[in-house]
Amino acid sequence: MEVKLLSGALGAEIKGINLKDTSDNNFNKINDLLLEHKVLFFRDQKITEEQHLALAEKFGPLETHAYVKGLDKFPEIVRIIKAEDEKNQWGENWHSDVSYNVKPTKAVIIKSIKIPPVGGDTCFSNMELAWETLDEKIKEKIKDKKAIHSSLGAEFFIDNYKKMEGNGKKNYGEYSNEHPIVRTHPETGKKILFVNWTYTKRIIGLDEKESDEILKKIFEHQARLELTCRFTWTENTVCIWDNRSVIHFAIADFYPGRGLGHERIMDRIAVEGDQPH
């Protein structure tokens, strides 16, 4: 096995692990690597949808997305499509997937299907390191507090993207839930900064002005480049991220002459998480 680190902060590209092998022994190896590096990349993986699902199921029960319709044959697979003539793409700001749910996603297993010749990299940031390196005064202020996370509604996930389809549920409003700002990782026991620019709206117990000021500082801190890694996709890459301990950002740098006019397609499977504590 070969492990190539993507940066000093997090992320590793792995060679020599067979993702079709769903034995406990192989899964434990992958999970140990995930806990250590937080996001893993495996290039040249010609796995079928069934094999993609079998790999994801090793991490736990699968989730269906709050708003988005999965594939007809495989409802747990959400096909994320940036159409040829779209500038924007799904996930183009820092976030942790569905952090507005009572039980936000544990892990995401995503496979690149179609990748533009230029543009569309994804960045990840390490929220364990973000907590460790956060200003001590801010830490003291927020360490026992909770924050409100709200979804931005169906429009954000579906109506903004031509080729994305809703799941037909009637209740398309916002979901809002409270989570501790510092959560404990259920497998490693490490402290993690659990807020994100896209969904975290308010620190409970602070007035609005102070909450806004502190969140702004935290969001700037989380995005510091020395906490991040950046991955340039090739087709048939499988990526697994620990959604409890990273935030991510899919860069929408589709400018004329530099990749605009190309489709980008990813197949995403999410694994159910637990309630942050």
Burial class of residue 215 (count of CB atoms within 10 Å of its CB; 0-12, 13-18, 19+): buried
CB of 124 to ligand SIN, least distance (A): 10
Cβ proximity to ligand SIN, 7 vs 133, nearer residue: 7
Best CA proximity match to 10, nearest among 188, 239, 229, 221 = 229
Residue identified by tokens 């954000």 is 156
Contact 27, 109 (CB under 8 A): no
For 221, residues 6+ apart whose C-beta sits below 8 A from its C-beta are 130, 133, 134, 135
| Cβ nearer to ligand SIN, comparing 70 with 146 | 70
Nearer to ligand SIN, 118 or 206 (CB): 118
156, 196, 148, 149: which is closest to 68 by C-alpha? 156
CB 237 within 8 A of CB 41: yes
Burial class for 250, CB neighbours closer than 10 Å (0-12, 13-18, 19+): buried
Please select the residue that binds ligand SIN; options are 67, 90, 94, 124, rule is CB under 6 A.
90
Q: Are 110 and 267 in contact (CB under 8 A)?
A: yes
> What is the distance between the alpha carbons of residues 240 and 111, in angstroms, rounded to a whole number?
9
Cα gap 60→57, rounded to integer Å: 5
Span from 59-67, 89-97, 98-106, 165-173 in contact with ligand SIN (CB under 6 A) = 89-97
Segment 10 to 69, residues that bind ligand SIN, using CB under 6 A: none
For ligand SIN, the binding residues in 197-256 under the rule CB under 6 A are 248, 250
Closer to ligand SIN by CB, 31 or 122: give it: 122
| Total of chain residues touching ligand SIN, rule CB under 6 A | 9
Question: Is residue 177 near ligand SIN by the rule CB under 6 A?
Answer: no
Told to check if 142 binds ligand SIN by CB under 6 A, we report: no
User: Per rule CB under 6 A, is residue 97 in the interface with ligand SIN?
Assistant: yes
94 binding ligand SIN? (CB under 6 A)? no
**Residue 65 or 183 with smaller CB distance to ligand SIN:** 65
Count other C-beta atoms under 10 Å from residue 150's C-beta. 16
Residue nearest to ligand SIN (CB): 91
Identify which of residues 202 and 248 has a Cβ nearer to ligand SIN in the complex.
Answer: 248
Q: Does 91 bind ligand SIN (CB under 6 A)?
A: yes
80 belongs to the binding site for ligand SIN (CB under 6 A): yes
Does position 122 interact with ligand SIN (CB under 6 A)? The reply is yes
Residues near ligand SIN (CB under 6 A): 80, 90-91, 97, 122, 248, 250, 266, 268
